[in-house]
């Protein structure tokens, strides 16, 4: 048995608290909810597959043996996430795709590979350790909030790993930033304009082909069944991204224009950072539907 399946299977049973019971009753046999979970979990698995490939491709660029081992461990943890999510779908009775479907993941993967080819380790770390991990954290926090007990438990277990991955990324990039601020700020701008639009386009009301591949009703899926909507998710994601950039210690003169540029693809910060975001919210239709 592989360790991922084993770790998912050996996780402690969800507690029978009144809240957990209420969640189970609320989400137990709701087909619309299960369709939403099939959609989100499948897309999440795609992100995890991309992460496995990114971390694996990055290993030769890492400077020392300890850093290589740490990166391989990150890749291994992402493989466990794939198994845990696939096993969750099986337990709850919905189908999931265990391959990359939506083209945005392939686009991000392509940008990462381009960074590897030019031996731009800072851009690699920014794409995977900072940007992708930050979005993963927002996603797993969402999946842990108002979902069924099984999903909430799996999301909580994976979230702990992703928080650690982000910490690793902040530590790595902070050190590189201190040593060579110009190069690392350039890497941030390069990665931001390529990767953030792709990540944010997946917090949207439309998919390319995932729903049809899953045979779920594209028009009927609603995020309201987990008490959120597209606008809330985008605000959460942007706030989390800003917090990550802050934690690294990037220069505000570089990051503020980057954040401001995101209003063009529907991201509006919740916090007042003194920015004027004149563009109208990009995702104005059918808020609450993911697909």
> Judged by CB, which is closer to Fe ion: 138, or 283?
138
Q: Is 118 helix (H, G, I), strand (E, B) or coil?
A: coil
> Judged by CB, which is closer to Fe ion: 139, or 203?
139
Binding residues for Fe ion (CB under 5 A): 48, 78, 81, 162, 165
Question: What is the secondary structure of 13-26 as a DSSP string?
Answer: PPP--HHHHHHHHH
> Judged by CB, which is closer to Fe ion: 141, or 185?
141
Q: What length is written for the chain?
A: 291
> Judged by CB, which is closer to Fe ion: 71, or 225?
71
Q: How far is the CB of 212 from Fe ion (least distance, A)?
A: 26
Q: How far is the CB of 261 from Fe ion (least distance, A)?
A: 25
3-state SS of 35-103 is HHHHHHHHHHHHHHHHHHHHHHHHHHHCCCHHHHHHHHHHHHHHHHHHHHHHHHHHHHCCCCCCCCCCH
> Judged by CB, which is closer to Fe ion: 83, or 289?
83
Q: For Cα atoms 193, 237, 269, give the angle at the middle one, nearest 5 degrees.
A: 80
Q: How far is the CB of 162 from Fe ion (least distance, A)?
A: 5
Residue 280 per-residue DSSP state: P
Q: How far is the CB of 270 from Fe ion (least distance, A)?
A: 24
Q: With CA atoms as reference, report the closest residue to 234 among 191, 273, 205.
A: 205
The answer to whether 211 and 221 are in contact (CB under 8 A) is yes
> Judged by CB, which is closer to Fe ion: 45, or 267?
45
Q: How far is the CB of 149 from Fe ion (least distance, A)?
A: 21
Q: Is 185 helix (H, G, I), strand (E, B) or coil?
A: helix
Q: How far is the CB of 55 from Fe ion (least distance, A)?
A: 8
Query: Tokens 């990009």 identify what position?
Result: 282
């Amino acid at each position: 048995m592989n360790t991922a399946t084993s770790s998912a299977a050996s996780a402690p049973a969800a507690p029978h608290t009144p809240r957990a019971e209420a969640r189970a009753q609320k989400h137990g046999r709701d087909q619309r909810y299960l369709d939403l979970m099939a959609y989100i979990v499948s897309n999440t698995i795609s992100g995890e597959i991309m992460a496995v490939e990114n971390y694996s491709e990055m290993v030769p660029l890492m400077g020392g043996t300890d850093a290589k081992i740490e990166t391989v461990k990150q890749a291994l943890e992402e493989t466990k996430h794939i198994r845990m999510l696939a096993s969750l779908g099986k337990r709850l009775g919905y189908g999931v795709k265990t391959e990359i479907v939506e083209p945005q993941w392939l686009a991000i993967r392509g940008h990462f590979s381009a960074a590897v080819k030019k031996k731009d380790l800072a851009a690699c770390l920014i794409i995977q350790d900072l940007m992708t991990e930050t979005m993963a954290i927002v996603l797993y926090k969402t999946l842990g909030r108002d979902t069924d007990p099984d999903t909430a438990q799996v999301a909580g277990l994976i979230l702990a790993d992703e928080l650690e991955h982000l910490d690793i990324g902040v530590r790595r990039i902070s050190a590189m930033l201190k040593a060579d601020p110009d190069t690392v700020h350039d890497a941030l701008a390069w990665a931001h304009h390529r990767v953030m639009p792709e990540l944010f386009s997946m917090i949207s009301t439309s998919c390319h082909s995932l729903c049809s591949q899953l045979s779920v009703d594209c028009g009927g899926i609603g995020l309201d069944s987990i008490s959120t909507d597209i606008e809330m998710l985008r605000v959460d994601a942007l706030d989390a991204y800003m917090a990550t950039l802050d934690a690294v210690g990037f220069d505000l003169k570089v990051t503020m224009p980057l954040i401001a540029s995101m209003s063009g693809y529907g991201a509006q910060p919740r916090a007042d950072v003194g920015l004027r975001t004149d563009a109208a919210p990009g995702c104005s239709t059918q808020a609450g539907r993911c697909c």
